[in-house]
Structure 1
Amino acid sequence: MDGVTVIDHPLVQHKLTIMRKKETSTAGFRRLLKEISTLLCYEVTRDLELTIERIETPLTETDSPVLEGKKLVFASILRAGNGLLEGMLELVPSARVSHIGVYRDHETLQPVEYYFKAPESLNERLVIVVDPMLATGNSSIAAIDKLKERGAKNIRFLCLLAAPEGIRNFQASHPDVPIFTASIDSHLNEKGYIVPGLGDAGDRMYGTK
């Protein structure tokens, strides 16, 4: 699908399969989510811009590449987004973090916002929005609406699983935001869950129902 990058690295796909299994424990799910998020972060940041800096090694001076511009922002859609956030911060510990509190009303399937906190100068930073699921897309759309209101212009969306319905809905609202995912699953069921999916990521990560 245009505008969607499926990260099909063998390690990503292997770990995702284990996460899908209903018998995978809460501890195992949480560990795998952290591991897979580091791999996904590697891919979503593959084309970051670099500049050259003069440095001194133990042997000589040399010109060497470093990241250009202001620090990245990882924007976590609470609460499940924090599962991806942990592994990503291990790879990019200097990244700034935004938290966006949005949950899906299970009756209407519409997003309800309850919290928003973000760093300054969003217009000068790459913002990577993270949420394990792109199901209906409503929560993700609402989160990105809020980030754009605060000035964010360069945004990417990263998730574990996406449904075709969610992708279409998301792209209709934010065609300028590329999607990165480990899998495009079959469809949404009547309750708005991704099929075959892996259940509710937040519940499986935190052991709640």
Structure 2
Amino acid sequence: MSFTIIKHPLIIDKLTRMRKVETSSKDFRENLNEIGQLMVYEIFRDMPLKEVDIETPVTKTKGYTIDVPVVLIPIIRAGLGMTEGIQKLVPTARIAHIGLYRNEETLEPVEYYAKKTKNIENSYVIVVDPMLATGGSASKAIEIAKGWGAKQIKFVCLVSVKEGIEKLQKDHPDVEIYTASLDPILNEDGYIVPGLGDAGDRIFGTK
């Protein structure tokens, strides 16, 4: 299974801004969207292309266009914060949605909403969530996507920890993982440390 930490000075700078407790929701969202755009270059590096005939103002020539449909699947609600940035560079991408919450007794993720797109089985599927902590929600979302018929799946997050990585590698060894940071630990409350806090609350200004 592939695990990639996308390191770039612009990503590192923006992630540092997001980590700061005093960062406003507006600035948090903007930096999250911008990091999503920067990560796109690496995530789609192996995307297949097809040759097409085009005509420039000077002559006829050959060009290349993306040869596979793209589906983004944000895990609601925090995943919505990264989706806009990715879609700006892949405007033809369709968006499916998966909503999950954690059962406080079992601590297992529970599905409360799921809406797929057309032709997902033949699409290049990107499951998105800013945080990869225990890995439970990410694993469940990927399980749902596979149930829809998705075969080419990548998981994209902003901040991750070892526990989450190992969970996905065990449950879905065929899924590539992309992250901007591998943080040191997961605390007893299930928060990544140093992390970002609750990404959903920081994106939407809720508590």
TM-score, normalised relative to structure 2? 0.97
In structure 1, distance between residues paired with 2:11 and 2:34 = 9
Residue 104 of structure 1, CA deviation? 2.7
Query: What does residue 56 of structure 2 align with?
Result: 57
Residue 3 of structure 1, CA deviation? 1.9
Query: What does residue 17 of structure 1 align with?
Result: 16
Query: What does residue 2 of structure 2 align with?
Result: 3
Residue 187 of structure 1, CA deviation? 1.2
Residues 160, 183 of structure 1: 8 Å contact kept: yes
What amino acid does structure 1 have at the position aligned with 2:200?
Answer: G
Residue 176 of structure 1, CA deviation? 0.5
What amino acid does structure 2 have at the position aligned with 1:3?
Answer: S
- 1:60-75 equivalences in 2 (<5 Å): 60-69=59-68, 71-75=69-73
- 1:93-141 Cα deviation digits (max 9, x unpaired): 1101110011234554321110001112222111000000000000011
In structure 1, distance between residues paired with 2:55 and 2:182 = 46
Q: How many residues align?
A: 207
Does 1:46 pair with 2:45?
A: yes
Query: What does residue 196 of structure 1 align with?
Result: 194
Residues 109, 192 of structure 1: 8 Å contact kept: no
In structure 1, distance between residues paired with 2:29 and 2:80 = 11
Q: Which runs of 5+ in 2 are unaligned?
A: none
- 1:28-177 equivalences in 2 (<5 Å): 28-69=27-68, 71-105=69-103, 108-177=106-175
What amino acid does structure 2 have at the position aligned with 1:150?
Answer: W
In structure 2, distance between residues paired with 1:199 and 1:110 = 20
Q: Secondary structure at the match of 2:134?
A: coil
Query: What does residue 203 of structure 2 align with?
Result: 205
- 1:48-70 Cα deviation digits (max 9, x unpaired): 1111100011111001111113x
In structure 2, distance between residues paired with 1:147 and 1:207 = 29
- 1:161-201 Cα deviation digits (max 9, x unpaired): 11101111111100100100000100110011111101010
TM-score, normalised relative to structure 1? 0.96
- What is the aligned-residue RMSD (CA, Å)? 1.1
- 1:75-98 Cα deviation digits (max 9, x unpaired): 110000000001111111110111
Report sequence identity in percent: 54
In structure 1, distance between residues paired with 2:105 and 2:21 = 25
Q: Secondary structure at the match of 1:147?
A: helix
Residues 51, 67 of structure 1: 8 Å contact kept: yes
In structure 2, distance between residues paired with 1:105 and 1:11 = 37
